[in-house]
Homo-oligomer: A and B are copies of this chain.
Amino acid sequence: MRLKDLGERALLAKLAPLGYPEAAPLPPGDDAGGVWAEGVAWLLKTDGFLYREVALRGMGPFEVGFRGVAATASDLLVKMGRPLGFTLGLFLPEDLEEGFVLELVRGAAEAAKRLGAFLLGGDTNAGVEVALTVAGYAWAEAPLPRRAFPGDLLYLVGDRWGRTGAAIWAHYQGVDLKAFPQIREAAFYPLPRLGLLALAGLPRGSLDSSDGLAETLWQLSETGVRVEVEALPLYPDVLALAKGEAQALEWVLYGGEEFEAVLAVPPEREGELWARAQAVGLPLFRAGRVLEGEGVYFQGRPVARKGYDHFRP
């Protein structure tokens, strides 16, 4: 079967178990993979993308390099992994200016630095268009899988919900984001949150949201639960840019590129969760709860699954 008929999700499900260790700290297909060594989980993650697919209007190579490290780091952090370093695998047209490449790598270095980590080299190859593959590794004492039990509370971490979707919409509509600095910042510099590590031991499970919140919640429901969303974060600037609440909700559910965390939290740990998040300045939003059953619902109505598929866009 050809990839465009199979689809990306089905392909990844077939690839994930190949060569994966049996006693790994996280199951195959989770946000990151890893091995145990000296009693600590060492996580490894790779994320690749085409420059033209992620460079919104106003973003340059610096922002795209920054975004590359951010995307990989998010998968590591949401597993409670502390990022140590990153490498860049670059495909570059031979006619490209060196200044472009230097800015790309400077942006990646800046994101790594803000996460207390480093760039550890990379590799360059000629290619017909600019493509990046970022790899990153991290260590985690207690890595957190994609997991939720009925009765858990559903939490969203961070403040980029809807904002990245709004920025992607503005890009395609040719709308200037000067008057919307938080939307611009969310899309241009989506730094994952080191503060997540302060929550260690509290959540039951966690997922990185990068293909859109709806897709992320569907992935959570596939672990064998029903996800009941009661409320979604609608920020004033997102509402101001949207033509009504329906569009703002669309951005929150289907925007993507958030690089934020979705948590399942046992109710008895809720107080401690708020206390620790507040101590490190981590934005939290209680979005709903996890029940027995299946599927994803928002205020009682089913949430459509419309994830992005690279092989049938």
A118 within 8 A of B: yes
- Of the candidates B47, B124, B131, B311, the one whose C-beta lies within 8 Å of that of A11 is B124
| A1, A135, A139, most chain B CB atoms within 10 A | A135
Residues of B within 8 A of A60 (CB): none
| A16, A28, A120, A139, most chain B CB atoms within 10 A | A120
Residues of B within 8 A of A127 (CB): 50, 131
How many chain copies?
2
Taking a contact as CB atoms under 8 Å apart, the answer to whether B87 and A46 are in contact is yes
A122-139 contacts to B, CB under 8 A, are: 122-129, 131, 133, 135, 137, 139
Taking a contact as CB atoms under 8 Å apart, the answer to whether A35 and B121 are in contact is no
A1-51 contacts to B, CB under 8 A, are: 1-4, 6, 8, 11-12, 14-16, 18-21, 24, 28-30, 32-35, 37-38, 40, 42, 44-50
A289 to B93, CA, bound (A): 40
Residues of B within 8 A of A248 (CB): none
Given A33-B87, A102-B15, A125-B50 in contact, is the A21-B118 Cβ separation under 8 Å? yes
* Contacts beyond the supplied A15-B101, A46-B123: 16 A-B pairs with Cβ under 8 Å: A11-B124, A15-B122, A16-B121, A19-B105, A19-B109, A19-B110, A19-B113, A38-B38, A46-B87, A46-B88, A46-B89, A94-B312, A124-B310, A125-B310, A126-B313, A127-B131
